[in-house]
Chain A
Amino acid sequence: AQSVTQPDIHITVSEGASLELRCNYSYGATPYLFWYVQSPGQGLQLLLKYFSGDTLVQGIKGFEAEFKRSQSSFNLRKPSVHWSDAAEYFCAVATSASKIIFGSGTRLSIRP
């Protein structure tokens, strides 16, 4: 069965430090992968997506993610976090053109 695992429930990093949020997926075919961000009480905003081609994808707000088929991973990275990056981050995989499975999310806190 298809699934998405985000092993870190909560991460705290210092402002200016680098960030990596982990995501592992289980899907038999070539996946379409996404990272979304959610601020408290708000909807989800798409950060970036991977369909095919270059395995390193760039997104908005300085985020990037790397697709590693051998590890079934799609980790999200940012070289230097800002206080405004504090939010919840969701990794997701599209199982068809009409359905997406979401991970349980990683809450990011920023230490001043």
Chain B
Amino acid sequence: DGGITQSPKYLFRKEGQNVTLSCEQNLNHDAMYWYRQDPGQGLRLIYYSQIVNDFQKGDIAEGYSVSREKKESFPLTVTSAQKNPTAFYLCASSTSLPGVSGEQFFGPGTRLTVL
């Protein structure tokens, strides 16, 4: 079945450590996204990528980094520069063909807790 996988489901990190969240999709989508979700704040866009080897900052990119070396993969690194990294992180993908709605498909999420 086609879909998006995120791993791990739960992640614990000590302060000052970098950590990388995995996101893989087999939907053959060009565009991929990372969102951060905090209680009562909905989804906030961290980074997005419309094509391999290219990505753009979203609304809250500070303290995060990404790479897009393969179409299927869009890992997110939460660096020690992120002041409040404890949150639920969601990865999504969509086709970016012209005239298409841009409906996004979501992975199951990773809950990151900083100890």
Contacts and interface: CB of A to CB of B under 8 A. Distances in A.
Partners in one complex: yes
Interface residues of B, number: 30
Interface of A: 9, 32, 34, 36, 41-46, 49, 51, 90, 94, 96-100, 102-105
Chain A interface mostly helix, strand, loop or mixed?
Answer: strand
A98 B31 contact: yes
Interface string B84-98: 000010101011111
Contact of A104 (B41, B98, B99, B100): B41
B106 A97 contact: no
Nearest to A95: B102
Contact of B42 (A43, A49, A96, A105): A105
Interface of B: 4, 6, 31, 40-43, 45, 48, 50, 88, 90, 92, 94-109, 111
Contact of A97 (B41, B92, B102, B109): B102
Contact of A49 (B31, B41, B101): B101
A100 B109 contact: no
Given A45-B106, A97-B100, 8 more contacts: A32-B103, A43-B4, A96-B102, A97-B31, A97-B98, A97-B99, A99-B45, A104-B41
